[in-house]
Amino acid sequence: MGLWYDEVFEDKLRLGLKLKRTLFTGQSDFQKVEVVETELLGKALLIDGLWMTCEGEEAPYHELIVQPAMVTSPTIERVLIIGGGDGGTAREVLRHAEVKHVDMVEIDAMVIEACKEHLPEIGTAWDDPRLNVMVGDGVAYVKEADVEPYDVVIVDGSDPVGPAKGLFNESFYRGCARLLKEEGVFVTQSESPRLFKEIHLEMVQVINTVFGAAWPYYYPVMIYGSGHWSWTYASRQTTPYDLNDERVARLEKDSRIYNRGIHHGVFALPNHVKQELAEMLVKRDA
């Protein structure tokens, strides 16, 4: 049988991958951090026993959390990333030459160090001079930071347990809105619409309340529970349909997943979600 690593969902479902070997295990002040090598999906990061990212399935997650916001925000000079300690989100943001400055606030230095050492294939932009990495609490940052507003704010956190719990409530989203330009774009990972449907829909509802509009979008990510993952896009003035054609054309050339068709496709909603969003009065134009 060999050695397997299973993420277990409430003692009801397991998401397991067969391991080749363990590369790193550490206990930080916040959480257990592990890097393993799997048979199927290459090297992978786990936090508190939950799959966070892996070489073989990181592209759909990182391209999709970043690019819909980056091709629609009118300007993309200043970007804030909360979380993102593996470096994949920063890498995707920094593909755009228009980006001048990225602040990244990751709570756990051990995640950054373990990923720099063992997952350099994911975080390929650590040395980019436009990237400013701060080890600190993203919740406090969005509440207190006295900085110029950002064009794009991206929340690339873990699940709503442990230190990431504070990234899932109205007060946190209000902090993100405070730091965002009026026409800027906010995006967060928003859990599985199948396995964690209630959490997902509640997030969309609260984000809609804060920004006045919210667009959940979906794409498969095999390494996360149910394989059906979501992100939620929000803006006070911009919509996911305000595409900058030049940016899309540049990205399409060397993205693994992202292209114009995918961009439109991910925002298509199943009927039951449309109905649930309408009942929650989430403003939608498609």
Q: Does 159 bind ligand SPD (CB under 6 A)?
A: yes
Are 139 and 175 contacting, i.e. CB atoms less than 8 angstroms apart?
Answer: yes
Q: Does 88 bind ligand SPD (CB under 6 A)?
A: yes
Is 242 catalytic? The answer is no
Stretch that binds ligand SPD, among 45-53, 69-77, 92-100, 255-263 (CB under 6 A): 45-53
Q: Does 89 bind ligand SPD (CB under 6 A)?
A: yes
Report which of 74, 248, 267, 52 is spatially closest to residue 162, judged by C-alpha positions.
Answer: 52
Residue closer to ligand SPD (CB basis): 9 or 239: 9
Residue closer to ligand SPD (CB basis): 84 or 193: 84
Are 196 and 50 contacting, i.e. CB atoms less than 8 angstroms apart?
Answer: no
Stretch that binds ligand SPD, among 32-40, 82-90, 208-216, 239-247 (CB under 6 A): 82-90
Q: Six-digit token pair at 65? A: 């959390």
Active-site residue (options: 48, 86, 103, 156): 156
Q: If 0-12 CB within 10 Å is exposed, 13-18 middle and 19+ buried, where does residue 32 land?
A: middle
Of 15, 41, 44, 52, the residue at the interface with ligand SPD (CB under 6 A) is 52
Residue closer to ligand SPD (CB basis): 52 or 79: 52
SS3 139: helix
Are 219 and 60 contacting, i.e. CB atoms less than 8 angstroms apart?
Answer: yes
Spatial CB neighbours of 132, under 8 Å, sequence gap ≥ 6: 101, 102, 103, 104
Of 15, 30, 41, 53, the residue at the interface with ligand SPD (CB under 6 A) is 53
Q: Does 173 bind ligand SPD (CB under 6 A)?
A: no
Q: Measuring CA to CA, how many Å separate 107 from each of 7, 52, 145, 168?
A: 22, 15, 15, 15
Q: Restricting to residues 216-245, which ones interact with ligand SPD according to CB under 6 A?
A: 224
Q: Does 50 bind ligand SPD (CB under 6 A)?
A: yes
Q: Does 34 bind ligand SPD (CB under 6 A)?
A: no
Helices 197-211 + 271-279 axis angle, to 10: 50
Q: Restricting to residues 199-218, which ones interact with ligand SPD according to CB under 6 A?
A: none
Residue closer to ligand SPD (CB basis): 158 or 235: 158
Distance CA 199, CA 207 (A): 12
Residue closer to ligand SPD (CB basis): 106 or 238: 106
Active site residues: 156
